[in-house]
Amino acid sequence: MNNELSQYYGVDIFSFAKRFPGEVQCKAYLSQYKWRNGFTCSKCGHQKEWKGPDQFTKVCAGCRHVESCTANTLFHKVKFGLVKAFMIVHEMASSTKNQSCRVMGRKYDIDKDTAWLFMQKVRDGMGSATVPLQGKVECAVSSNIPRQKSSKQKGKIKIMAGVQCLGNGIVKQFAEVQTKGRKLAEIMKERLHSEAIVYSNHLSIRQLIQEEQEKEQEDKPSLKRIERFTSGLQSWIKGIHHAISRKYSQRYLDEYCFRLNHHRIKPQLFDLTIQLMVDHPPWFYRKI
């Protein structure tokens, strides 16, 4: 297999449509990432393959399992075609604010619920790129995320957010939904490096900061970055989605952080998102 990947970088819709005019080009793009490290059967682990019915399908020489380029990825069993799926991924990754599932469904002539489900898969892929923040990190707790109205859910969603400044204007963020069974200490352990220095005005977070970090608080920053981040997140949800469900809220937060953390390489975001979705195991509506 050719080790040189044919990557697509760009945000222009016309060049994108020219690069991916049909199913063949989309399958070829998925194939180069799915088997970039060689073939391994998902059933028996055998590494020798035969040619399948077409150039984007392989047959395991051990158990005769037939595997396509979309199998065991987030593109598994996409019902509306890979061309539309690629267009949705491109729009979610390359646009500044994205669009709601209603608008996306009308734009690509698919059902609103179908668009919503696939967009959740894209957000899952984006969320897998999250890495713990380290160094000096500003943290805050916000309760101003609008929640969808229902008979069982009232009020707003409470989140914990963090911002790390890397210098030269480069900033990385995270946002995590805080649930009743998930404490702040668990979120901080998962989202922050063990040696991270935390700055916060929130009492619950300050109580969790180690004693040796208290000396650092004398030189704490103004915390304007975390305030801008939480304010921008709230505005994005209200402006695009109006309100989100608590059950699926973490995926929306991951999407927002993914685009914000990689905004300096926006032309590469489509390619990065495709890689993440290919490496992510599939899931179906009944499992969410």
pLDDT, one tens digit per residue, over 152-206 is 556 788 898 999 887 766 678 888 887 766 778 888 888 888 888 888 888 778 7
Q: So where are the chain's domains?
A: 13-129+268-287, 136-261
Which DSSP string corresponds to 66-126? EEETTTTSTTTT-TT-HHHHHHHHHHHHHSSS---HHHHHHHTT--HHHHHHHHHHHHHHH
Cα-Cα end-to-end distance for the chain: 36
Distance from C-alpha of 127 to C-alpha of 44, rounded to nearest angstrom: 29
pLDDT given at position 1: 45
Predicted pLDDT of residue 150: 62
Range with the lowest mean pLDDT among 49-58, 166-175, 223-232? 166-175
Which pLDDT value is given to residue 253?
Answer: 92
Give the three-state DSSP class for 140: strand
- 69 pLDDT band, cuts 50/70/90, is very high
Closest of 7, 12, 5 to residue 94, by C-alpha: 12
Sign of CA dihedral 197, 181, 241, 113: positive
C-alpha gyration radius of the chain: 21
Dump pLDDT digits (tens) for 97-156.
Answer: 888 999 999 999 999 999 999 999 999 999 998 888 988 888 988 888 888 776 455 678
Query: What is the rounded CA–CA span in Å between residue 17 and residue 265?
Result: 20
How many Å apart are CA 17 and CA 42, to the nearest integer? 32
Q: Of residues 130 and 213, which shows the higher confidence score? A: 130
DSSP H or E stretch at residue 199: strand 197-199
Comparison of pLDDT for 259 and 181, the residue scoring more: 259
Q: Over pLDDT 90: what percentage of the chain?
A: 46
- d(CA 112, CA 107) in angstroms, rounded, equals 10
pLDDT score recorded for residue 89: 96
Other beta carbons within 10 angstroms of residue 181's beta carbon come to 6
**Which H or E element spans position 160?**
strand 156-167
Question: Under a CB-based contact definition with an 8 Å cutoff, are residues 75 and 26 in contact?
Answer: no
The mean predicted confidence, pLDDT, of the chain is: 86
Tell me, what's the pLDDT at 123? 95
Q: Which of 57, 59, 79 is nearest to 68 (CA)?
A: 57
| DSSP H or E stretch at residue 144 | strand 136-146
Q: Tokens in use for 283?
A: 């899931």
The answer on pLDDT for 252 being more than 70 is: yes
**pLDDT tier for residue 218 given thresholds of 50, 70 and 90:** low
8 A C-beta contact, residue 275 and residue 73: no
pLDDT tens for 6-26 read: 899 999 999 999 999 999 999
